[in-house]
């Protein structure tokens, strides 16, 4: 029987990492293909934006439900459902001939990812009941980081050498392999105390996460103080507060709020949100810096991020093993302090900075992320009843997703404000007749599209004016870039302090200790 196979747990890890790599890859790989998608499908800028937002919204909105359904009906069963949905919708994305078809397929793809992400971790908690669990979580977290970091490199290669549809086709063989290994290796597990689904609580928390994520996403086109943004954020607050009030009255709540009375879980959830803010926001601007300021192709930009990627792959498994020995507090504290240091270094770079200067910064950042993520995950999962692993994993992963949306929104707002102010200062030195035309270029400045600005200025005012405009635009973008890096460093430092103070005098039980006390209910399929 598979339960007696000596390598079953490692094959389980293989399947979970395969699936996790696939969904993390989709967070970044599609961005590289957007220009090609726009040309091929002749989509509007608004619909092009929806190819990203549709996935992010459904992913963030349904992730808690995915974990809860796995606890109730069986984690393996729901993981296979999510894997099927994600793989089939990836093929549908690749076959799309209109932007409407692509957006609809991305919505379904996000639902599949919302099942896969939390259940991959809860399945590992069930499969690794002994000392290897911290190592397994380290590898799991490393693969997660690898999927995010390698997205621009792999996406650039596929778009340049195959087509935009290849960034979706690549998920199909990965999904098929993961499905086959899951069928063979994974033993079914569930929460025996989960008797029903809290429909009202599900609607409240899903609606709240949708409203919160949508409000954060739309800050790129609306002011933070606009009625539109305030309305969605207020709606999110009302729904989420209503969710808490409702859950307090339930005997079998969707999310046991007792989780948050445990410092190890509440602090870990807060730290992972901060990590999401810093990590996603920073990767976005580094990509713009490489491609728009230095003119690298997507593939060349991806290659230059390899020092960051390599550290994620190398350090995360080691950090997982160390976590079992020294505990998560020192690793989380040192890891986020290292990330803050790396971001401070990036805040000093300029338009002409040599790439060799960036390598140490990337190495420190990669090591910091890799030390933190396994520790955060292990601390959170080790503090709750293992039978609640699905919903606990959903909470941790939804914190990271919301943090990612918050990071792009907040850092984007900071960078846009600083870049616009710097560009306005440059415009004030021009003749009055040129002010209006230069002001219309502000969105290009914020995105770092200096070459395009130079071409426009050259066509209207000559080569010298084009060179000046391009240089001023680059300087304005870098002013905003520096602000984003400083904000990221501040967030990472805050996460480090939060871990150091919040986990003081807290002994975090390792998941294998809890399983010894309260074994996971498992049945063989």
Q: What are the pLDDT digits (tens) for 143-196?
A: 776 776 677 777 778 887 888 898 899 899 988 988 998 898 888 887 776 667
Mean pLDDT of 300-310: 77
pLDDT value of residue 1: 37
- The answer to whether the CB of 325 falls within 8 A of the CB of 378 is no
Model confidence at 101, pLDDT cuts 50, 70, 90, reads very high
- The answer to whether the CB of 166 falls within 8 A of the CB of 43 is no
Model confidence at 514, pLDDT cuts 50, 70, 90, reads very low
CA distance 215 to 404: 13
pLDDT winner (highest mean) among 4-13, 71-80, 345-354:
345-354
Phi/psi of residue 3, nearest 5 degrees: -60, -25
Q: Which residue has the tokens 């920073």?
A: 282
pLDDT value of residue 82: 93
pLDDT: which is higher, 267 or 374? 267
Model confidence at 388, pLDDT cuts 50, 70, 90, reads confident
CA distance 78 to 421: 50
Virtual torsion, Cα 19, 63, 263, 261, nearest 10 deg: -150
Options 1.20.1250.20, 3.40.50.2300, 3.40.50.720, 1.10.3720.10; CATH for 1-196 is: 1.20.1250.20
pLDDT value of residue 154: 78
pLDDT value of residue 250: 80
The residue among 147, 71, 501, 133 whose CA lies nearest residue 309 is 147
Residue 524 has pLDDT above 50, yes or no: no
Percent of the chain with pLDDT over 90: 20
Sign of CA dihedral 37, 38, 42, 43: positive
pLDDT winner (highest mean) among 233-237, 246-250, 518-522:
233-237
Which burial class, exposed, middle or buried, applies to 457 when counting CB atoms under 10 A from its CB (0-12, 13-18, 19+)? Answer: buried
| DSSP structure string for 393-424 | HHHHHHHHHHHHHHHHHHHHHHHHHHHHHHHH
Task: Give the 3-state secondary structure of 4-50.
Answer: HCCCHHHHHHHHHHHHHHHHHHHHHHHHHHHHHHHHHHCCCHHHHHH
Mean pLDDT of 460-476: 86
Which tens digits make up the pLDDT trace of 198-212?
A: 788 888 888 888 888
Query: Where do the domains of the chain lie?
Result: 1-196, 198-253, 418-478
The residue among 221, 497, 281 whose CA lies nearest residue 403 is 281
- The answer to whether the CB of 420 falls within 8 A of the CB of 477 is no
As a whole number of Å, the CA-based R_g of the chain is: 23
How many other C-beta atoms lie within 10 A of the C-beta of residue 283? 23
Question: Encoding tokens for residue 124?
Answer: 């590992």
pLDDT value of residue 433: 74
Model confidence at 515, pLDDT cuts 50, 70, 90, reads very low
Sign of CA dihedral 8, 64, 259, 495: positive
Angle at Cα 391 formed by Cα 496 and Cα 411, nearest 5°?
40
CA distance 290 to 284: 10
Residue 437 has pLDDT above 50, yes or no: yes
CA distance 101 to 93: 7
CA distance 508 to 512: 11
Q: Which residue has the tokens 């190398």?
A: 314
CA distance 360 to 368: 12
- The answer to whether the CB of 113 falls within 8 A of the CB of 5 is no
- Low-confidence winner among 20-29, 100-109, 154-163, 349-358 (lowest mean pLDDT): 20-29
pLDDT value of residue 51: 81
Q: Which residue has the tokens 């699905």?
A: 390
- The answer to whether the CB of 62 falls within 8 A of the CB of 112 is no
Angle at Cα 299 formed by Cα 48 and Cα 459, nearest 5°?
65
90 Cα distance to chain centroid? 19
pLDDT: which is higher, 525 or 193? 193
Residue 516 has pLDDT above 50, yes or no: no
The residue among 487, 488, 452 whose CA lies nearest residue 470 is 452
212 backbone φψ class: left, alpha, beta (φ>0; ψ -120 to 50): alpha
Question: Encoding tokens for residue 13?
Answer: 């890890």
CA distance 334 to 523: 40
CA distance 265 to 374: 14
CA distance 319 to 137: 9
pLDDT value of residue 520: 40
How many other C-beta atoms lie within 10 A of the C-beta of residue 351? 14
Per the prediction, the chain carries an average pLDDT of 81
pTM of the model: 0.77
CA distance 457 to 508: 60
CA distance 322 to 282: 27
If residue 523 lies in a helix (H) or strand (E), which one and from where to where?
Answer: strand 522-523
Mean pLDDT of 491-508: 85
Q: Which residues contact 313 (CB under 8 A, 6 or more apart)?
A: 142, 145, 146
Residue 456 has pLDDT above 50, yes or no: yes
pLDDT value of residue 507: 63
CA distance 494 to 279: 14
- The answer to whether the CB of 111 falls within 8 A of the CB of 58 is yes
CA distance 236 to 16: 32
- The answer to whether the CB of 26 falls within 8 A of the CB of 113 is yes
């Amino acid at each position: 029987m598979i339960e007696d196979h000596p390598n079953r747990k490692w094959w389980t890890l293989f399947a979970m990492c395969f699936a996790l790599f696939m969904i993390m890859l989709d967070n970044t790989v599609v961005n590289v293909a957007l220009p090609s998608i726009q040309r091929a499908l002749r989509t509007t800028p608004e619909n092009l934006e929806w190819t990203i937002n549709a996935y992010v919204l459904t992913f963030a909105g349904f992730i808690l439900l995915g974990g809860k359904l796995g606890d109730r009906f069986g984690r393996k069963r729901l993981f296979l459902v999510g894997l099927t949905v994600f793989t089939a919708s990836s093929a549908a994305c690749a076959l799309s001939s209109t932007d409407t078809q692509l957006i609809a397929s991305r919505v379904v793809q996000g639902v599949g990812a919302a099942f896969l992400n939390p259940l991959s971790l809860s399945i590992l908690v069930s499969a690794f009941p002994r000392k290897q669990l911290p190592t397994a979580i380290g590898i799991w977290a490393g693969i997660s980081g690898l999927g995010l970091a390698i997205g621009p490199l792999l996406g650039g290669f596929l778009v340049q050498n195959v087509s935009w549809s290849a960034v979706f086709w690549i998920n199909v063989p990965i999904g098929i392999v993961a499905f086959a290994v899951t069928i063979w290796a994974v033993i079914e597990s569930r929460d025996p105390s989960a008797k029903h689904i809290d429909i009202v609580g599900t609607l409240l928390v899903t609606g709240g996460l949708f409203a919160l994520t949508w409000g954060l996403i739309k800050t790129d086109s609306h002011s933070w103080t606009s009625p539109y943004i305030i309305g969605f954020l207020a709606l999110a607050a009302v729904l989420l507060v209503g969710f808490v009030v409702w859950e307090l009255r339930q005997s079998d709540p969707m999310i046991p709020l007792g989780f948050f009375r445990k410092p190890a879980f509440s602090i870990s959830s807060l730290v992972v949100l901060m990590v999401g803010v810093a990590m996603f926001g920073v990767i976005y601007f580094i990509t713009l810096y490489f491609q728009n300021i230095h003119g690298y192709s997507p593939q060349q930009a991806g290659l230059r991020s390899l020092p960051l990627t390599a550290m994620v792959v190398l350090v995360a498994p080691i950090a997982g093993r160390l976590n079992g020995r020294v505990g998560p507090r020192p690793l989380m504290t040192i890891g986020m302090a290292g990330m803050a240091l790396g971001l401070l270094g990036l805040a000093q770079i300029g338009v002409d900075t040599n790439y060799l200067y960036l390598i140490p910064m990337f190495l420190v950042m990669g090591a910091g992320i890799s030390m933190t993520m396994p520790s955060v995950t292990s601390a959170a999962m080790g503090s709750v009843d293992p039978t609640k692993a699905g919903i606990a994993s959903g909470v941790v992963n939804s914190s990271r997703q919301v943090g990612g949306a918050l990071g792009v929104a907040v850092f984007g707002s900071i960078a846009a404000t600083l870049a616009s102010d710097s560009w306005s200062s440059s415009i004030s030195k021009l003749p009055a007749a040129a002010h209006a035309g230069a002001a219309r270029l502000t969105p290009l400045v914020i995105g770092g599209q200096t070459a395009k600005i130079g071409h426009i200025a050259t066509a209207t005012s000559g080569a010298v004016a084009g060179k000046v405009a391009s240089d001023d635009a680059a300087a304005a973008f870098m002013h905003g870039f520096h602000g984003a890096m400083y904000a990221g460093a501040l967030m990472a430092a805050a996460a480090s302090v939060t871990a150091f103070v919040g986990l003081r005098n807290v002994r975090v039980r390792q998941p294998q200790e809890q399983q010894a006390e309260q074994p996971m209910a498992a049945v063989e399929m």
